[in-house]
Chains A and B, each alone.
Chain A
Amino acid sequence: MDVVLHQVLAGLATGGIYASLALALVMIYQATHLVNFAQGEIAMFTTYIAWSLVNAGVPYWPAFGITVAVAFALGILIERVVIRPVENAPVLAVVVVFIALLVILNSVAGWIYTYTIKSFPSPFPKEPLFGIRYMSPHELGAIGVTLLVLAALYAFFRFTPLGLAMRAAAQNPQSSRLVGIRVGWMLALGWGLAAAVGAVAGMMVAPIVYLDPNMMGGILLYAFAAALVGGIDSPMGAVIGGFAVGVLENLLGAFVIGNELKLTVALALIIGVLLVRPSGFFGKVHVTRV
């Protein structure tokens, strides 16, 4: 029983990370109907920036803040410079551009930082917090940070005029222009936020899996699975999907198939969801007119 509880709680911790990335994916999908294949690499790259800052002597939380700000700017830059020209291009062209982005970020990170695995600090203390022994302090902290970020995003979109404008621009760009919303910039902002969320996810997961340019590949796959399970156009679904997938991964890994086939599980999940219930559990069912 202890073991199950431990797996569930640890699963919630990694699930939080999947939830954050899945949310970033859904945000971009809602606004553009595009799947951001490069989401993981953007998160990885910004985590490396955090690593550089910490290595240069900057204390953790200021480095965290700076990284989030830089990630935000990077997201906006990528949308305006790389994505905008192909917004209306055929699907294959867009996919190629996303993959190119993935590849460029991955190799530049490898070039600047080499492929040696690096350790990334955790801001949480080493001793068990509140006497909880089922999770490491970092796992507990990661859940906390994830929930904070998700709550902040929710509040932003629900209660601020800018958040409302962004939601409007994602749902109905034409009508948004008619009320004066600059749709292009709303898209860029969405990318900025998605990149910032990804940076937080990266910084929370790096202490667990260690920092290396290829660290986000498998995680991104799980985030995809989570976003699909929850519904690719449902933010709430992405979050629930993320936590669910995290717990599922751990339980399956501990009791059913061992830790070696985790990615295959993600693959099976993705294909399964796409075949059985493509709109996910919380997404809207789309009817395509002939």
Chain B
Amino acid sequence: MKRNVLLIAILLIIACALPFVVSNYRTFQLTLVMVYATALLGLNILTGYNGQISLGHGAFYALGAYCAAILMDQAGAPYWATVPVAAAVCLVAGFLFGLPALRLEGLYLALATFALGVAMPQLLKYDHLAKWTGGVQGIVIAKPEAPFGLPLNADQWLYFFTLAITVAMFVLAWNLLRGRIGRALVAIRDQHIAAEAMGIDSALYKSAAFGVSAMYTGVAGALSAIAIQYVAPDSFNIFVSIVFLVGIVVGGLASISGALYGALFIQFVPNLADEISKAAPWAIFGVFMIGFVYLMPTGVAGAIRLLLAKRRSSP
């Protein structure tokens, strides 16, 4: 336990130091890593811990992003205010989607969420909504500057802003998942009939899991809009949902640290893949997906856990 706290502290110190030693572009990439980590944490709560498969989380990501963009563009809201609003909107939206989803299991839920993910861009391009969503062109927003005249450039400020929110989200998740709630979610995933027989209100937990999961991914979406300063329908197609799925499979299901490993993977591997084959980074993604399912089904987090357990047991 103490060892973990020490490791996390070291990690945080390094994280705070990084923007000052690497280039602006790298800082931007690391900001996105944190955004993805938050999104993946959201998906993991739903799919990893609670066993509800979602192939449509890109839709909540888009919802959060557009919330932020519309508030900033149309309502002139300050960037930091958009995050809680996006969180609230996505919490409700996720919960509402989770209600009908209660009746769907496994593959059928995957199918329904897949449909959601595929349909989202078209919905965002819809003419009648265009005066808010900006239609096909999307919305461009201004880049936030560091407040109070702090000696940080815009990229560095965005990094720390995202870092603060991400850390808060992770701490919240850790608290939620390690106690009764986390155990209930896992119980519902593994033996839902037994769980209900023990008095766990499975319907409430499952819908709440959907809501919370959507909230996390929505917050990530809002942060991504602020970091990239641009939202457009086609950036939120089914492949975003698929990327998130890849992230939690590679990072490790039902694991908080897995969200971080997965985020690193989805941010940096496409660049690597680009160098291997200019034209087919996705094919490499696909191969990785299959590889992990066959060879490392518990993901990187699981593999690390296994390694540590082995080292502890051998003298």
Contacts and interface: CB of A to CB of B under 8 A. Distances in A.
Contacts of B294: 85-86
A69 interface: no
A208 interface: no
B108 interface: yes
B118 A82 contact: no
A46 B175 CA distance: 50
Tell me whether chain A's interface is mostly helix, strand or loop, or mixed: helix
B245 interface: yes
A264 B120 CA distance: 8
A56 interface: no
Residue of A217, A271, A290 with most chain B CB atoms under a 10 A cut-off: A271
Interface string B95-121: 000001001101110111011101100
B201 interface: no
Contact of A274 (B108, B118, B297): B108
Nearest to B289: A100
B265 to A, nearest CB: 14
B137 interface: no
B141 to A, nearest CB: 25
B118 A34 contact: no
B281 A261 contact: no
Given A274-B108, A275-B103, A267 B286 contact: no
A37 B118 contact: no
B110 A35 contact: yes
A89 to B, nearest CB: 7
B284 to A, nearest CB: 8
B122 A260 contact: yes
B115 A221 contact: yes
Interface string A273-284: 011001000000
Contact of A271 (B51, B100, B127, B238): B100
Nearest to A115: B279
A101 B122 contact: no
B125 interface: yes
A274 B249 CA distance: 27
A91 B53 contact: yes
Contacts of B306: none
B286 A92 contact: no
A106 to B, nearest CB: 7
A89 B279 contact: no
A217 B286 contact: no
Given A91-B107, A264-B119, A290-B193, A107 B290 contact: no
B122 A264 contact: yes
Interface residues of B, number: 44
Nearest to B239: A103
A228 B242 CA distance: 23
A5 interface: no
Contacts of A290: 193
Given A107-B281, A260-B125, A221 B119 contact: yes
A111 interface: yes
A100 B47 contact: no
Given A93-B293, A95-B107, A266 B119 contact: yes
A28 to B, nearest CB: 12
Contacts of B125: 260
Contact of B286 (A37, A104, A225, A270): A104
A184 interface: no
Nearest to B241: A99
A263 B242 contact: no
Given A103-B283, A111-B277, A111-B280, A95 B126 contact: no
Contacts of A107: 279-283, 285-286
A120 interface: no
A270 B115 contact: yes
A236 interface: no
Interface in B274-312: 277, 279-283, 285-287, 289-290, 293-294, 297
Contacts of A108: 280, 283
A141 interface: no
Contact of A96 (B51, B111, B277, B293): B293
Give 9 closest A-B pairs by Cβ, nearest first. A107-B282, A104-B286, A100-B289, A111-B279, A263-B119, A103-B286, A111-B280, A267-B119, A100-B286
Given A91-B107, A96-B290, 20 more contacts: A34-B107, A37-B114, A85-B294, A91-B106, A95-B53, A96-B245, A99-B245, A99-B289, A100-B290, A103-B282, A107-B283, A110-B282, A111-B283, A225-B115, A258-B127, A260-B122, A263-B119, A270-B111, A274-B103, A274-B108
